[in-house]
Amino acid sequence: MWFTSDNAGPAAPEIMEAMMKANTIYSQSYGADPIMDRVRDKIRDIFEAPDAAVYLVATGTAANSLALASMVQPWETIYCHRHAHIQEDECGAPEFYAGGAKLTLLDGADAKIDLASLEAAVAATGQVGVHNVQKGALSITTATENGAVYSIAEIEALCAVAKANDIPVHLDGARFANALVSLGCTPAEMTWKAGVEAVSFGGTKNGCLGVEAVILFNPDRAWEFELRRKRGGHLISKHRYLSAQMEAYLTDDLWLNMASKANAAASKLSAGILELPGATLLHPTDANIVFAGWKRSGHQAVQDAGAHYYFWPFDQTLDGDANEILTARMVCNWATTDEDINNFLRIIAE
C-alpha cells in the first residue's frame, strides 16, 4: 500500500526491456544515437509539430530549469503559482539556471493560476523601469501540485494574457500524460494550439526509470537550450539509455495507458475515502493525486498495517483525539492495484 508518490512505483517492463536492448549495442553519444532520431520524429508527430526542437534530460528539475532559463534574462521574472513545483520543490534551480531571474508568485484555488492574479502581477511588473525586474515568462503546471487539471479554456486564457504582453509560456508537465487523459484532448490542443511555447514532458513519474523531454515549439530557442544543457551538466553521454526509455514510453500508447491506470486508481481511492464517516476531499481528484481527510483512528490503523503516504501538511501526528480529522496526500501510479486500494479502505473502515 504505497501512496507516497508515483516516483515510488516501478518502471514498466517495456521500459526495462528497452533499456536492456540498448545495452547490447554500441552507439554515438550525446544524443546522436539513432534511437533519438526516432524519438524526435515520434514526439513531433504526437504533438503535430514538425518543426519542434526535442531534447531529453534525466530529471524534471533539469527540464523545467533549462527550458525556463532559455526563455528569460536574469533581470526578468517567471510568473508561477505560489504552490508550483518550481517554487516549492526545486531548491531555487530555476533561478540558478536562469542566472538569478525572479519568481513572481500567483494565487488561485487548487494550485491553478487565477487569471485575475496573473493580470494584476503582469500589470505591476516593471513600473519603475530599471529599478524593477521585467516581464519574463509564465510557467503553468498541469496536473498541479494539488492534483487539479487546467481545462483547455483556462490554459488558453492564461496564454492570451501572456501573448498580449510578449511573455512566452512554459508548461511543467511532470504529469503531462495524467492531465491529458483526464481532459481527453490531444497533446497539441493542450500545448501549442493553446499558446504554450515550451513543454517539460514527463516520463519518470509515469513508468520510466528517469527521462523527461523538453519540447520547444519555437525552434529559435534550440541552440541556446543546447548550450545551457551542456553548460549545466545535463547532456548525458550515454544518451541512448534516455532515448530507449522515451521510445518505449511512446510506443503503442504505453504512456497514455499507464496514465489512465494511475488516474483510474486515484478515482477509485478518492471515491472510497468519501464513503468513510466524516471524510472529506481537500482538492478535486482530476488526475492521479488524492488529497483527503479522515479520522485519526483510521490513520493509525492503516499505518499500523504498513500503508505509506504523507500527512498534508506534514506536521500532523497520530497522537491525539481518535475522531479528529487528519489530512493526507496520496499518489497512485500505473502499477497501483485494486487490491492495494481495497485493503487500504477496508482497514480504515474497520
Of the pLDDT bands very low, low, confident and very high (cuts 50, 70, 90), residue 304 is: very high
248-300 pLDDT, tens per residue?
A: 999 999 999 999 999 999 999 999 999 999 999 999 999 999 999 999 999 99
Cα(169)–Cα(100) distance, rounded to whole angstroms?
19
215 backbone dihedrals φ, ψ, rounded to 5°:
-115, 120
Tell me the C-alpha to C-alpha distance, in Å, between residue 217 and each of 42, 189, 193, 198, 259: 15, 13, 10, 6, 24
Name all domains of the chain by residue range, CATH numbers in brackets: 12-254 (3.40.640.10), 258-349 (3.90.1150.10)
> How high is the pLDDT of residue 297?
96
Q: Which amino acid is at 236?
A: I
Q: What is the pLDDT of residue 275?
A: 95
Burial of 197 (0-12, 13-18, 19+ CB in 10 A): buried
Confidence category of residue 219, pLDDT binned at 50, 70, 90: very high
- Rounded to 5 degrees, what are φ and ψ at 74? -60, -25
- Cα 233 to the center of its chain, rounded Å: 22
How many angstroms separate the CA atoms of 220 and 206, rounded?
30
C-alpha cell at 67: 527550458
Q: What percent of the chain has pLDDT over 70?
A: 100
Section 205-229 average pLDDT: 97
**For residue 121, what is the DSSP state?**
H
69's CB contacts (< 8 A; 6+ apart) are 94, 97, 98, 99, 101, 228
Report the percent of the chain where pLDDT is more than 90.
99
CA 305, 306, 309, 314 torsion-angle sign? positive
Whole-number Cα distances in Å, 232 to 96, 118, 140: 10, 30, 23
DSSP at 211: -
Positive or negative: CA dihedral 18, 19, 23, 26: positive
* Residue 84 confidence class, pLDDT cut points 50, 70, 90: very high
Q: What's the confidence (pLDDT) of residue 303? A: 96
Q: What is the pLDDT of residues 319-328, one digit of tens each?
A: 999 999 999 9
216, 294 contact by CB (below 8 A): no
DSSP class of 293: E
Side chain identity, residue 300:
Q
Cell 526495462 belongs to which residue? 16
Residue 150 near residue 112 (C-beta atoms within 8 A)? yes
pLDDT of 334: 98
For 146-163, write each residue's pLDDT tens digit: 999 999 999 999 999 999
3-class DSSP state of 5: coil
Q: Tell me whether strands 289-295 and 212-216 are parallel, antiparallel or unpaired.
A: unpaired
pLDDT band at 205 (very low <50, low <70, confident <90, very high): very high
User: Is 131 exposed, middle or buried, given 0-12, 13-18 or 19+ CB atoms closer than 10 A?
Assistant: exposed
- Residue-level pLDDT at 310: 97
Torsion from C-alpha of 320, 322, 328, 334, nearest 10 degrees:
140
Query: What would the pLDDT profile of 10-69 be if each residue is shown by its tens digit?
Result: 999 999 999 999 999 999 999 999 999 999 999 999 999 999 999 999 999 999 999 999
Contact call for residues 140 and 150 (beta carbons, < 8 A): yes
Residues 168-200 pLDDT 10s: 999 999 999 999 999 999 999 999 999 999 999
Ranges of beta strands (E only) in the chain are 53-57, 76-81, 102-106, 134-141, 169-173, 198-202, 212-216, 280-281, 289-295, 310-311, 325-331
- Name the pTM for this structure: 0.96
Question: Which pLDDT value is given to residue 320?
Answer: 94
